[in-house]
Amino acid sequence: MTSPERTPDAKGAADLIITRCTALVHDDHEGIGFVEDATVVVRDGLVESVTAGPAGAGAAETIDAHGQVAMPGLVNCHTHTPMVALRGLAEDLPVEEWFNDVVWPVESNLTARDVELGARLACAEMIRGGVTCFADHYFAMDTVAAVVAESGLRANLGQAFFSSQGVEGRERSLDFALRHRGTAGGRVTTSLAPHAPYTVDDADLAATAALAREHGLPVHIHAAENRDQTASSLARRGRTPVEVLADTGLLGTDLLIAHGTGITERDLPVLARAAGRVAVACAPRGYLRFAWPTTTPVRALRELGIPVGLATDGAASNSSLDVWESMALLALTQKSAEGDPRWLTARQALHHATLQSARAVGLGGEIGSLAPGHRADIVLVDLSGPHTQPVHDLAAALVHSARSGDVRTTIVDGRVLMRDRELLTVDVPTVVREMGARMPALVDRSHGRRIQDYDT
Amino acid sequence: MTSPERTPDAKGAADLIITRCTALVHDDHEGIGFVEDATVVVRDGLVESVTAGPAGAGAAETIDAHGQVAMPGLVNCHTHTPMVALRGLAEDLPVEEWFNDVVWPVESNLTARDVELGARLACAEMIRGGVTCFADHYFAMDTVAAVVAESGLRANLGQAFFSSQGVEGRERSLDFALRHRGTAGGRVTTSLAPHAPYTVDDADLAATAALAREHGLPVHIHAAENRDQTASSLARRGRTPVEVLADTGLLGTDLLIAHGTGITERDLPVLARAAGRVAVACAPRGYLRFAWPTTTPVRALRELGIPVGLATDGAASNSSLDVWESMALLALTQKSAEGDPRWLTARQALHHATLQSARAVGLGGEIGSLAPGHRADIVLVDLSGPHTQPVHDLAAALVHSARSGDVRTTIVDGRVLMRDRELLTVDVPTVVREMGARMPALVDRSHGRRIQDYDT
């Protein structure tokens, strides 16, 4: 479907034109709409126009996307990319055993090379699944930043820290954030990344909030991940995790909270008073897997105007980095949790997948919409397969019938990273081969070490 | 990956040999195991052998399945194939409105040609998703039987009826079942198909049970679909739907119950006393979508020895016929419903997908396992993609990381129906084109008719 017709000398020619697609656009009230037989023009890494009808001029590259939907690339608002190396290693366990018996012992073996290979495999998986941007919260993030640069993806990166590392943990997180923000041609943004209120003490959280304000940095943290954490925080400190975020000043920063299934009624007025731009990342598959009794309270958060972005968490808990699946599961688990089949419609799911996810990673107004002037982060989704036909409702077809494997082409900043399912920036077999050879050393737990204890 | 090396004159040569695969097999206690670097030999439509190591002899066709898992084809234990035509038409609605305002009015327009096109598209979708057998419960089933014959799939088919059709409904269901059983080279089996205890009265159900016994036919019925139906049955008749099945003699037949999320504690001893081979089909996506408060009580049914097979229901509620997704959602929703992350492990999910699904459709001992003498219904699943690597646990990789789109090859009775993602028995574009042209007439609801009222 791709015909790269290079016309390098054509003055004023666009860099990329996508023709004959159905374009997913937002109206002035953020409603989801579709432009049939549309042309998308990309210039200098930006969307220049989305119009009905054929292209008016030539371009360096033209993609005929007949039968495909052009939509903003998905955003994975909370993940730990290198953990793809642990995919399937700790199945069918409660979260305590998952952390203490497998994940944290194995992570004590991690080397920068493991992180590099994991991040590279994760980028390949996400590009193939229509993800154009991700928020990563992990260790050895210099390495991840280098992989982001080579992969062509966009990312918000944070070097995770625990208070058990002393002040150095926080300082390394700050140092990383300052050195890397704006790198990879502006595709990398950075956050401070305290692990969680149960592993980072109040003084450390307050110091992090002060650094965020001083340096204009967002903060990305796990908080109120589940009801047990909230109950434990109340028992130990007399405050919920969200109240801890408020008391330490973090709700005054641009704060991305991972999970929040433990957010309770009493947290809602606290969140309503937040001075910063607070958002929550929801990774619904893991909440089912760990049999947590609640999911992210999306309806309550919506009433507060708090964006909820889509996420997968790491592949060690989610089994994949399939944000497309997160989109469908968000809709399904929200209907189930609210007992309301009318809630979280397919169009609402697409709003979470686009504008709300963009805001969650601090890139509202830059990504999440095919509006002119936004970054050209675009995916082309094939709806011609038997599992997506006929199409009575484009939103329903995208959210509930299409799969991540229906993404044919992935574009970031106007650059094609996957064309007709062919990855252009990552060599998967080479990564898989070396990763396989390193696995015995990585998964060895005979040493009895772990990087932390899970004890909320 | 396919090299058809035809050696037609080689006496004793097998029909098909699959080499270098990882084969999913069952041990004597039905545990799931994997044979690495295996060879699967197929002769006369049956699995002849599954052995470690290279092939010992030639065959008419050889498939090199290096990097792929050979496993029994999935079984869709409850669906309404022609309803793919309604995919996405009735979204985000409670089940009452879904039936009364959209599905049953539209179904009053159905023609045999609509059924034919829908069934053909559904077969294409299922072959691409690794489904080799399905249990279909719908109207105009002569047409569906013809499509099954041409598609190469295996199916158990039942002509649905309501008591509102008078005795003719039941008689047509019997006539269909007797005329079609054993057709398509034995690939078609049949069932009597009363719609549900709330649309078929007790006398009709009792007569159906008598016909089943007289003719040695199984019965396929919706029952206790949700808690509301059970409550309504108790209020109106003082008995649960399962007690109605018992009282009318249906629990003395080989009975496939669709859904059963309304099965209660008081039903369990009733089911335990069932003289027939009772099974339940679970289609978990729809229960989330309709925000039903419970799911199929798999743990309780297991204690009774009642098989629970995987299903999708029709695409009008499930959005797809993706049994692979049903397998993952069975595991996830069961963990969530039981509050137990250790319950319904990946291996248990594979047991439901294989042996239990085969038993649910009355084909235990014939399909559902790659054991010698079983029908050669085999799918080859590619685990080389970045989303399934690395593989620490083959069961977890299959259930939670792989997707239906990773099925590369689908084989029924030793015949290849899809090779390396190419469908060999269905022409999808032609079906989609004609279906699209017929859609305005099919979805017209201006007449105000409906085939039934949903009133449990």
**Which of B227, B288, B326 should be substituted to probe chain A, the one whose Cβ sees the most A Cβ atoms within 10 Å?**
B288
**Chain A contacts of B404, Cβ < 8 Å?**
387, 403
How far is residue A404's CA from residue B385's CA, in Å, rounded to a whole number? 13
Residue A120's pLDDT band (cuts 50, 70, 90): very high
Q: CA of B405: which chain A residue's CA is closest?
A: A405
At B234 the pLDDT is: 98
**Chain A contacts of B89, Cβ < 8 Å?**
392-393
Whether pLDDT at B11 is above 60: no
Q: CA of B339: which chain A residue's CA is closest?
A: A291
Residue A394's pLDDT band (cuts 50, 70, 90): very high
Question: How many other CB atoms are found less than 10 A from the CB of residue B141?
Answer: 27
How far is residue A312's CA from residue A136's CA, in Å, rounded to a whole number? 11
Strands in A297-448 per DSSP E: 308-310, 378-382, 407-412, 415-419, 422-423
At B2 the pLDDT is: 43
Q: How close is the nearest chain B Cα to the Cα of A394, in Å?
A: 8
Please state the rounded mean pLDDT for residues B283-288: 98
**Chain A contacts of B315, Cβ < 8 Å?**
401
Q: What is the mean pLDDT of chain B?
A: 96
Structure tokens at A145: 């930043």
With b for 16 or more beta-carbon neighbours within 10 A and e for fewer, the A325-355 pattern comes to: bbbbbbbbbbbbbbeebebbbbbbbbbbbbb
Query: How close are the terminal C-alpha atoms of chain A, in Å?
Result: 52
At A453 the pLDDT is: 87
3-state helix, strand, coil in chain B (%, to 5): 40, 25, 35
Mean pLDDT is lowest, of A409-423, B9-23, B80-94, B272-286, for B9-23
Whether pLDDT at B297 is above 70: yes
**Beta-carbon separation of B428 and A389 below 8 A:** yes
Q: How close is the nearest chain A Cα to the Cα of B355, in Å?
A: 21
Phi, psi at residue B49, to the nearest 5°? -160, 155
pLDDT in tens, B107-133: 999 999 999 999 999 999 999 999 999
CA pseudo-torsion sign A61, A66, A72, A75: negative
pLDDT in tens, B228-283: 999 999 999 999 999 999 999 999 999 999 999 999 999 999 999 999 999 999 99
Please state the rounded mean pLDDT for residues B288-309: 98
Whether pLDDT at A20 is above 90: yes
How far is residue A96's CA from residue A100's CA, in Å, rounded to a whole number? 6
At A7 the pLDDT is: 45
Residue A455's pLDDT band (cuts 50, 70, 90): confident
Complex confidence, ipTM: 0.96
Residue A181's SS3 state is: coil
Q: Pick from A156, A109, A81, A179: which is nearest to A426 by CA?
A: A81
Phi, psi at residue A49, to the nearest 5°? -160, 155
* CB nearest B401 (choices: A124, A319, A396): A319
Residue identified by tokens 């084109």 is B433
Q: Which 8-state DSSP code applies to residue A356?
A: I
Q: How close is the nearest chain B Cα to the Cα of A99, in Å?
A: 14
pLDDT in tens, A439-450: 999 999 999 899
Q: What is the mean pLDDT of chain A?
A: 96
List all residues 6 or more positions away from A143 whose beta carbon is below 8 Å from its beta carbon.
A112, A115, A116, A119
E strand or H helix at B441: helix B428-443
List all residues 6 or more positions away from A123 whose beta carbon is below 8 Å from its beta carbon.
A81, A147, A148, A151, A153, A425, A426
3-state helix, strand, coil in chain A (%, to 5): 40, 25, 35
At B420 the pLDDT is: 98
Listing from the earlier edge strand, what are the strands of the sheet with B308-310? B74-79, B131-138, B154-161, B188-194, B219-223, B255-259, B278-282, B308-310
The amino acid that residue A55 corresponds to is: A
Please state the rounded mean pLDDT for residues B415-440: 97
The amino acid that residue B349 corresponds to is: A
